[in-house]
Amino acid sequence: MQDCFGRTIDYMRISVTDRCNLRCVYCMPAEGVQQISHDEILRIEEIATIARIASDLGIRRIRLTGGEPLVRRGIEDLIYSLSSLDSIESVALTTNGILLSAKAEALKQAGLSRVNISLDTLDPQVFSQITRGGSLDKVREGIDAAFAVGFDPIKLNVVTTRSLDQDFFAFAKLSLDRPLHVRFIECMPIGAAGSEARWSSEDVIPSSELIEHINNKARSQGIGPLHEVVEDKPVGWGPARYYRFDKAFGTVGFISPLSNHFCAQCNRLRMTADGQVRPCLFSDQEFDAKTALRRYGEEGVRKTLSQALASKPDEHHFRVGTLRQMSQIGG
């Protein structure tokens, strides 16, 4: 699939639920968000059908997200269906890690290729503040379980802000001893949590500043600076720029949607848990694949996906705030 700007679109992020067992401050308001009613959420078989049609059109890689995808009942069945599709090369998942230790083995058995685990601090108290009540131990157990069952690569997603108390160098050092790929992501103005009132451009740490900060710390501890990885990047490297400390097993990546946006290389469509296809994370424009499927069947979905593809904007134009929260879109 090619969009109007000549970009190849072969990656789809599918949100399987808007429910979450955490309440991260940058992702959703403290009171949570109004949940989509049960009837409006796509059934597992419906998600699989839409994904199959998308794969016929050219989607090759799928990432499952949420809300928290591991709270969705039937997630293993979905992974099995998707990974069995001939033209799908990989099925990955982004999780907060809380339920990962319990589910890692079943996910691997179902055919999951890779996991990204989101974690913004290594301090249990700060973790509880950022997630409004989450347990860091659970996430650590989840990371260990992901290694134990053999997921590779395993990436840690760290959303970076000035206002939260985060030790970025401690995260970077996690790449030294294990093949763990730590990726720092600039906090984005999505949802009401990303509206002018709650999100501020001053809170965003540009990746260039963060690299310098990490390198200064690394030099002072005799570790030496990060070197850019040109070859041998972690599989599914996407929009991150990767670096490595000498002799490290893992890498340190930087995703800079704001300070150095990568819209020209955008390769994706997104679908929400209620079956709305979004051409761009930052835009409220959506195309209703759920109604298309329920009313018009597979041909309706094909048409909807083509319309969404044709509507992909050239770039996000630094829009601030969206109607849906990040937890409803899937990141």
Return residues touching ligand SF4 (CB under 6 A).
Answer: 20, 22-24, 27-28, 66-68, 96, 118, 326-327
**24 and 54 Cβ atoms separated by less than 8 Å:** no
When asked if residue 238 is in the footprint of ligand SAM (CB under 6 A), the reply is: no
Q: How many residues bind ligand SAM (CB under 6 A)?
A: 21
Instruction: Kindly state the smallest distance separating residue 253's Cβ from ligand SF4, in Å.
Output: 18
User: Going residue by residue from 282 to 321, which x/- string records binding to ligand SAM, judged by CB under 6 A?
Assistant: ----------------------------------------
Smallest distance from the beta carbon of 104 to ligand SAM, in angstroms?
15
DSSP string, 136-202: HHHHHHHHHHHHHHT-SSEEEEEEE-SSS---HHHHHHHHHHSSEEEEEEE----TGGGSTTT--GG
Question: In this structure, what token pair is assigned to residue 151?
Answer: 């997921």
Decide whether 107 or 187 has the Cβ nearer to ligand SAM.
187
Q: How far apart are CA 190 and CA 320, in angstroms?
A: 7
Which residues contact residue 129 at a Cβ distance below 8 angstroms, ignoring those fewer than 6 apart?
Answer: 25, 164
Q: Is 331 in the site for ligand SAM (CB under 6 A)?
A: yes
Query: Distance from first CA to last CA of the chain, Å, rounded?
Result: 22
Q: Does 68 bind ligand SAM (CB under 6 A)?
A: yes
**Pair 121, 167: CB distance under 8 Å:** yes
User: Is 55 among the residues that bind ligand SAM (CB under 6 A)?
Assistant: no
18 binds ligand SAM (CB under 6 A): no
Token output for 78: 């979905």
* DSSP states of 9-38: --EEEEE--S--S---TTTS-TT--PPPPT
In the complex with ligand SF4, the residue whose CB is nearer, 24 or 174, is: 24
Contact predicate 138/144, CB 8 Å = no
Q: Which does 190 bind (CB under 5 to 8 A by kind): ligand SAM, ligand SF4, none?
A: ligand SAM
Residue 43 is classified by DSSP as P
Q: Which is nearer to ligand SF4, 17 or 304 (CB)?
A: 17
Among ligand SF4, ligand SAM, none, partner that 188 touches (CB below 5 to 8 angstroms by kind): ligand SAM
Give me the residues that bind ligand SAM (CB under 6 A), please.
Answer: 20, 26-27, 65-66, 68, 94-96, 118, 157, 159, 185, 187-188, 190, 194, 326-327, 330-331
